Amino acid sequence: MAAPEGGVRARLWDAPVRIVHWALVALILFSWWASEDHLNWHRWSGYTILGLVVFRVLWGFAGGGAARFASFVKGPGQVAAYARTLFDRAPSNVPGHNPMGGWSVLAILAVLLVQVGTGLFTVDIDAFEGGPLSDRVSFETGRAMAEIHELVFRVLQGLVVLHVAAVVFYLVYKRTNLIRPMVTGWRTFPSDPGLAGAPAWRFVLCVAVAAALAWFVSKGLRL
């Protein structure tokens, strides 16, 4: 579809990517709020985050177009080449995550997995509240996991701040709105980027696997 300004309006982000993105934003904030006085909600939020991250990892291989890791995870040479153009004022026309942004996405997903993973083993100071796998480790290990859990959240906060700063930088300096496509799914390009979608059965399979894994973890890896 031709855009009014002469470019091509094309589908960039599919619904699964957009839903996961905004759901993670909401759940990270919710988990932070619930971490002190609403631990049961905090746990269920964590299980949901685990399911979403697992789905996003699976979708990075099974999805289509810009959702695939192969489309945005680049080697050091391409990352360095893109970094040299970072302060050019021209709008960015990369169809999806750029080579630098791609690695930031992987970093956030990895940190979220560590965050949830450590939470599964945590135990509070009174040994009254704990994650679903806290009975598999000693009290001392559970307390150490709780401290790591807190530390990893600080790392996650730093990554989120950098992510938001990058979005603002692209909007103000490079005149590229990265927020609108993540809401609507559409973006205008100079030419059609040719981003193909993925069949529905892959989506259903990825959802089923991610949901089953999150449920199994919530039960302490017990059927």
The residues spanned by each domain of the chain are: 16-218
Instruction: Provide the CB-side half-sphere exposure for 209 (13 A, CA).
Output: 14
Question: What residues of the chain score a pLDDT lower than 50?
Answer: 1-4
DSSP SS3 for 130: strand
Q: How far apart are CA 28 and CA 42, in angstroms?
A: 10
* Per-residue pLDDT at 223: 81
* Per-residue pLDDT at 5: 52
pTM: 0.94
* Per-residue pLDDT at 2: 40
- Out of 2.60.120, 1.20.120, 1.20.950, 2.60.40, select the CATH number for domain 16-218: 1.20.950
* Per-residue pLDDT at 7: 82
DSSP lists the bridge partners of residue 2 as 8
* Per-residue pLDDT at 172: 96
| CA 186 and chain centroid, separation | 19
pLDDT in tens, 38-66: 999 999 999 999 999 999 999 999 999 99
